[in-house]
Structure 1
Amino acid sequence: MTEKILSNKNNLQVLYEDNHIIVVNKRAGDIAQGDKTGDKPLSEVVKSYIKDKYNKPGNVYLGVVHRLDRPTTGLVIFAKTSKVLPRLNALFVSKDIDKTYWAIVKNMPPKPEDSLTHWLKKNPKNNKSSAYIKEVKDSKKAILHYKLLKKLDNYFLLEVNLETGRHHQIRSQLSTVGCPIKGDLKYGFDRSNPDGSIHLHARHITFMHPVKNEPINITAPLPNDPIWDACNA
């Protein structure tokens, strides 16, 4: 998988850009869209980048297509025009966007490769999803597929593909089978990472460009971290 960075200005890693779409490599702590914290969202950083690069007067349009949890890193797609936003949204709804995640977990998974099916129920009070073996009231079915990529000194690197897109799905399902993600206190890891991140990275994405009708394949470089470095060694 090739890893290209088109721009790395003001802590914004741009991995792909054309007239319709821009894809960036989100850092831990960034939020894709504004929330109650009032922190500057990644969408505003990308708008500033576009405004400066093209000397655009007035407001810059940018559509938020999807999100990543705040402590998670990796690929985020934005729409640069109102025309392409509903087309990108449709790709997500129809599951015609293939997303691959890398997760570093505490324990060896039950099997080297497997599919997990749970019913997830979100608790808005603590912003956490609980996974159940059987359907419960207000739960949603969640399916993911994982395989073990590498055994590290103290951890295990998993590749994860989602069949559904639920709230905290990877974090909750992996924790439920005894594999909490490194740094994820909310889902059972015993200590946090110093920078507040968790070792979950949106690594690769593949889709047909909704305007150009050509395949797009993008891989996000891993964060600068000794444990992530060991995954590429």
Structure 2
Amino acid sequence: MRKQPFTVVYEDNHLLVVNKAAGVLVQGDKTGDKTLTDFCREYIKHKYNKPGDVFLHPVHRLDRPVSGLVIFARTSKGLERMMELFRKREIHKVYWAVVKKKPKEEMGKLTHYLTKDENRNLVTAHEKEVSASQKAELNFKRLGTLNDHWLLEVRPVTGRPHQIRVQLSSMGSPIRGDVKYGFVKPNQDASINLHAFHLVFTHPIKKEKLFLRAGLPTEPFWEQFLEFEEIKAKDQHLDNTFSG
């Protein structure tokens, strides 16, 4: 049986935040496959019995093989204000990544300059600025080890395409399953072990602080890391501290 493409994490008149399954596109591409946006529009249309077109726009993207939190705007006002929060870097994102090779440092910051080959959909990380490159920064921390793999908490400062994937690979620790960026073999379901776990931001209309969390995928490899999830569930200081 095919797994659900998403589960709802937060919903009100302005926003819909879902936990996306790995393998689902957020927006359309040349494959023509049904997208998360399509699934969520159907959900809204059915739940609220809406006639005609449903206004629903993703505020950001997650790569197809990545699971976790995706924010949609349900109103044009919500969309405009959420885009502004992203522009100002006032949305704090926390990812979990599983790698085979242990990073040398317990915690650190990575800075690279990224270029993208659009034809191959492949990003290259450079140590120094090169022509047409974009600066990419992230912070990481080792949370622990299980069965010969390391769980990392990753907090991107910038939001570049494939940023976490290519930066961890450049550090010598490609994400499990990510053959595009140097892992030795793919996962059976074509996913990679990168999960958008937490989002913290101030609601653009209600002005309330939201701490949103997406449970780990219900998949045997991920489930062994559930013991770390309890630590994170108690964390209410995500804007500026690592935990765990």
Indicate whether 1:27 and 2:21 are aligned.
yes
Partner of 1:4: none
1:50-89 paired onto structure 2 within 5 Å:
50-89=44-83
Aligned-partner residue type, residue 12 of structure 2 = D
Measured after TM superposition, the shift of residue 11 of structure 1 is 4.3
Pick aligned residue for 1:162 from 148, 156, 170: 156
The answer to whether the 8 A contact 2:96-2:194 is kept is yes
Indicate whether 1:117 and 2:129 are aligned.
no
Partner of 2:190: 196
Q: TM-score, length-normalised on structure 2?
A: 0.90
Measured after TM superposition, the shift of residue 227 of structure 1 is 2.2
The answer to whether the 8 A contact 2:56-2:72 is kept is yes
Query: Aligned residue pairs: how many?
Result: 225
Q: Distance in 2 between matches of 1:28 and 1:55?
A: 28
The answer to whether the 8 A contact 1:24-1:75 is kept is yes
1:1-233 paired onto structure 2 within 5 Å:
11-233=5-227
Q: Distance in 2 between matches of 1:23 and 1:220?
A: 10
The answer to whether the 8 A contact 1:142-1:166 is kept is yes
Measured after TM superposition, the shift of residue 56 of structure 1 is 0.8
The answer to whether the 8 A contact 1:146-1:158 is kept is yes
The answer to whether the 8 A contact 2:63-2:162 is kept is yes
The answer to whether the 8 A contact 1:150-1:231 is kept is no
- Note the alpha carbon deviations across 1:86-142, whole angstroms, 9 max, x for none: 100000000000000000011000201000111111111211111111111111111
Aligned-partner residue type, residue 218 of structure 2 = N
Question: Whose relative contact order is higher, 1 or 2, with alpha carbons under 8 Å and at least 6 apart?
Answer: 1
Q: Distance in 1 between matches of 2:4 and 2:140?
A: 34
Q: Distance in 2 between matches of 1:10 and 1:150?
A: 29
- Note the alpha carbon deviations across 1:51-104, whole angstroms, 9 max, x for none: 111111111110121000000000000001112101000000000000000000
The answer to whether the 8 A contact 2:56-2:73 is kept is yes
Q: Distance in 2 between matches of 1:45 and 1:125?
A: 28
| SS of residue paired to 2:60 | coil
Q: Which runs of 5+ in 2 are unaligned?
A: 228-244
Measured after TM superposition, the shift of residue 10 of structure 1 is 5.3
| SS of residue paired to 1:83 | helix
Q: 1:57 to 1:10 in 2, by over 3 A?
A: farther
The answer to whether the 8 A contact 1:110-1:177 is kept is no
Aligned-partner residue type, residue 108 of structure 1 = K
Measured after TM superposition, the shift of residue 180 of structure 1 is 0.4
Q: Percent identity?
A: 53
Q: Distance in 1 between matches of 2:72 and 2:188?
A: 29
Q: Distance in 2 between matches of 1:183 and 1:127?
A: 17
| SS of residue paired to 2:77 | coil
Measured after TM superposition, the shift of residue 229 of structure 1 is 1.2
Q: Distance in 2 between matches of 1:48 and 1:225?
A: 26
RMSD: 1.1
The answer to whether the 8 A contact 2:5-2:20 is kept is no
